[in-house]
Amino acid sequence: MDNTSRITLYDESDFRGLRRAGQLAAACLDFIEPHVVPGVNTEKLNDLCDGFIRDHDAIPAPLNYRGFPKSICTSVNRVICHGIPSKNHLLREGDIINIDVTVILDGWHGDTSRMYGVGDKIPLKARRLCTVTWNSLNFALDAVRPGATLGDIGHAIQHYAEGMRMSVVRDFVGHGIGRKFHEPPHVFHFGNPGKGLALLVGMVFTIEPMVNFGKPHGKMLSDGWTAVTQDRTLSAQYEHMLAVTKDGLEVFTHSPLGLQDKLNANV
């Protein structure tokens, strides 16, 4: 069995479910934005998102997933990903935070994340990091079409981010998604053009590059989840979920309110 044969291909009727799940996750990220302010604790953000998701007849996928204790991930400053919301973690003016929401709606997963600035005095280097990360995701999306390869996607991210003298995290990848939270394939955020699996119409996966201001290396905190940069530099991440279509792609997780690139800096 080759790699391709383990990958589920989804059809137009599946897309209707995936679209609704993706839009709900993105709407949750829009909903939470006004609450991301100095002095709020990340457990409050968790509880608000949890309530929003359940009010829309969905379930937060992270809760109890492989033992994860909360409903969303909140990754602040040097946290690369999988930060655990906590009452004791108060956001401060100038912080940057990734909020990662995954919902299950009628059995379909919707997975997306974006960066928020806390307050209105975000240091330029933090805004540049976020903008480079956002741009890298969009260059990756530009590479998605039937016949392109996973290597084309990874290369688009790596080539751009490293060209901006930032680094791409290797330890976490995008993933197939649908009825399950994480399915094949692994979607690497680095790679070589033309290498790796060729994309087929009906593949559904996330692209979720993590970019560090310094070196790419991470380490895990003792909670077993929180990944942080070894050199303590800032890390940023954006995540979209998409399908490969005959025309190229459909992104399921665009912000309904168009809020997703608010940290835009001149880079």
* Residues contributing to the site for ligand MF3 (CB under 6 A): 62, 65-66, 68, 73, 82, 100, 102, 111, 206, 208, 239
Q: Which does 66 bind (CB under 5 to 8 A by kind): ligand MF3, Co ion, none?
A: ligand MF3
Task: Choose the binding region for Co ion from 17-25, 113-121, 140-148, 195-203 (rule: CB under 5 A).
Answer: 113-121
**How far apart are alpha carbons 236 and 238 in whole angstroms?**
7
Instruction: Give the interface size with Co ion as a residue count (CB under 5 A).
Output: 5
* Least Å from the CB of residue 214 to ligand MF3: 22
Please report how close the Cβ of residue 42 comes to ligand MF3 at its closest, in angstroms: 14
Residue 50 backbone phi and psi in degrees, to 5: -55, -45
Chosen residue from 23, 206, 235, 237 binding Co ion by CB under 5 A = 206
Instruction: Candidates 78, 79, 99, 100: give the one binding Co ion (CB under 5 A).
Output: 100
The least CB distance from residue 265 to ligand MF3, in Å, is: 24
Task: Encode 37-48: b = buried (16+ Cβ within 10 Å), e = exposed.
Answer: eeeebbbbbbbb
152 makes contact, choosing from Co ion, ligand MF3, none, with CB < 5 to 8 Å by partner type, with none
Comparison of 61 and 197: residue with beta carbon closer to ligand MF3: 61
- Nearby residues of 121 by Cβ (< 8 Å), 6 or more positions away: 93, 94
Which of 98/131 has CB closer to ligand MF3?
Answer: 98
Is 109 or 128 the residue whose CB approaches ligand MF3 more closely? Answer: 109
Spatial distance between the Cα atoms of 198 and 7, rounded to a whole number of angstroms: 12
Give kind and range of the element (H or E) at residue 50: helix 42-55
Which residue type, as a one-letter code, is found at position 233?
Answer: T
Cβ 253 to ligand MF3, closest distance in Å? 11
User: Does position 152 bind Co ion by CB under 5 A?
Assistant: no
**Residue 159's binding partner, choosing from ligand MF3, Co ion, none, with beta-carbon cut-off 5 to 8 A by kind?**
none
Identify which of 180, 184, 213, 224 has the alpha carbon closest to the alpha carbon of residue 200.
184
Backbone torsions φ then ψ of 178, nearest 5 degrees: 170, -110
DSSP-based three-state secondary structure for 246? coil
Q: How far is the CB of 181 from Co ion (least distance, A)?
A: 8
d(CA 149, CA 195): 6
82 binds, among ligand MF3, Co ion, none (CB under 5 to 8 A by kind): ligand MF3
Give the whole-angstrom CA distance, residue 198 versus residue 207.
Answer: 15
Instruction: Give the chain's end-to-end CA distance (angstroms, integer).
Output: 44
13 C-beta neighbours (distance < 10 Å), count: 7
Q: Name the residues that contact Co ion, by CB under 5 A.
A: 100, 111, 113, 206, 239
